[in-house]
Structure 1
């Protein structure tokens, strides 16, 4: 199954990449302050939606750009055609296609494709985490002396709360990394480039593919899926248990 989804994500990524290479020509629309949507978003989501309908005709679809299909199986594919659209329109490489499977009330499996980086991540329940087909080695033990925490802060979140998050990480004497794409940030966590991640004001499509990949590496999140709706905005932390114990302390101040 994940092989088919990986090929679908890669093909959708190539659609987006063709637009990425024509940034001076293609339309860019603003959905809100610092919240952008491009022609590429819509084309990639339409391509993925059509592909999923062929592969899994009984499954539902839920996409960031409005794709919606009711399924009969109870399974739901959650799509973010370009996570990191702001990076995309600025010519950066930190954006990715995300396709996650939601079933039995929680994320089950996911595929992420970062076209500029040529990186394909996959994994989930019963499927080991891989990068370009090779197993991902579990990140090493959490060492606060060289700790680094990824952060994602949607502009809709009040500045005072965003500052609280930054202050908390700095008070732990750890480095901060903010790349502008929660999907890419979470894959940095999978690869051991950061020790933990805190996301505020993010959406379920931002994490649906990444979290099951991380779970197969023993990396947990604070999200309580039975208590969530797919339309909810999220405030959560991720990390190996020692890192999660630390960064999770800031969440009450952010909710």
Structure 2
């Protein structure tokens, strides 16, 4: 998917940018954790999604941090939309991923902040706000969990022994193809888990707790960090689709991705 010759980027600069932003993302996480299980102001979005005043407050913190760090960078944030800049660098921001979990009192939520070079994710920060854990790194590696380097993804067991995450866009609903894909993955893995929090699922993949994850027409933020960091640990990112849809991905340890693609391909060809 990622052609290094075409999309070559300055890795040291990317690392400098994300490392400079970690404290800001953790600040947003601390705010979210402090407000967890408190009274929230809720507003409806499209397709049954919601936004809270905490989403907006976290977004304000993160965008201000990016602007202070790199005022010319383009920003695409889930709530604020597109904030133009004049640079090859851009940021994808989900200031409070897992909002439905958050308002339901389920402690699976956090922040996804991905750095792109000429439109391709090349570095990222993932923050589990409740557990106060942070993963960051660049496509060239290394990738760190709370400052300690993560090992390569090298599973020794078959797909049937792996937990696989599932995420889908709010607009998918009861799409019959999505249902068939989901059922096929579930039948061939140890367990399929839909946490409704891509930040948590991506961190589980990167730390080897999940073998991989499947995204079916997810939101633009959902797999941005995985696309940057999974290859750095020797994992694989692959699209699956017959019509060129941009947001159908399998990511994770390479053997699991290959096995999942084979199973999904059988469903998609029906």
TM-score, normalized by the shorter chain, greater than 0.5: yes
Higher deviation after alignment, 61-70 or 128-137: 61-70
Following superposition, the deviation at residue 142 of structure 1 comes to 4.7
Please state if 1:157 is matched with 2:172: yes
Give the equivalent residue in structure 1 for 2:234: 218
Check if 1:125 corresponds to 2:139: yes
Taking structure 1 as reference, are residues 173 and 75 closer, same or farther at Cα in structure 2, changes over 3 Å only?
Answer: closer
Per-residue CA deviations over 1:172-212 (Å, capped at 9, x if unaligned) read 25321111112211111111111121111212212222322
Gaps of 5+ in 2: 1-15
Q: Which residue matches 2:117?
A: 103
Structure 2 distance, partners of 1:14, 1:28, is 20
In structure 1, how many angstroms separate the alpha carbons of the residues matched to 2:46 and 2:118? 33
Runs of 4+ in structure 1 displaced over 4 angstroms? none
CA–CA separation in structure 1 for the residues paired with 2:43 and 2:52:
6
Shift in alpha-carbon separation, 1:105–1:61, aligned structure 2, 3 A: closer
| 1:139 Cα deviation from its structure 2 partner | 3.1
Q: How many residues align?
A: 247
Query: Per the alignment, do residues 167 and 213 of structure 1 end up closer, same or farther by CA in structure 2, a change over 3 Å counting?
Result: same
CA RMSD, aligned part only? 2.3
Cα gap change, 1:12 to 1:238, in 2 (>3 Å): same
Matches of 1:219 and 1:34 in 2, distance apart?
33
Aligned-residue offset at 1:36: 1.4
Deviation at 1:223, TM superposition (A): 4.1
SS of residue in 2 equivalent to 1:202? coil
Q: Does structure 2 retain, via aligned residues, the 8 Å contact 1:182–1:199?
A: no
Deviation readout 1:22-79 (Å, 9 max, x if unpaired): 2xx2211221454111101111111111111111112111100024322122210110
TM-score, length-normalised on structure 2? 0.84
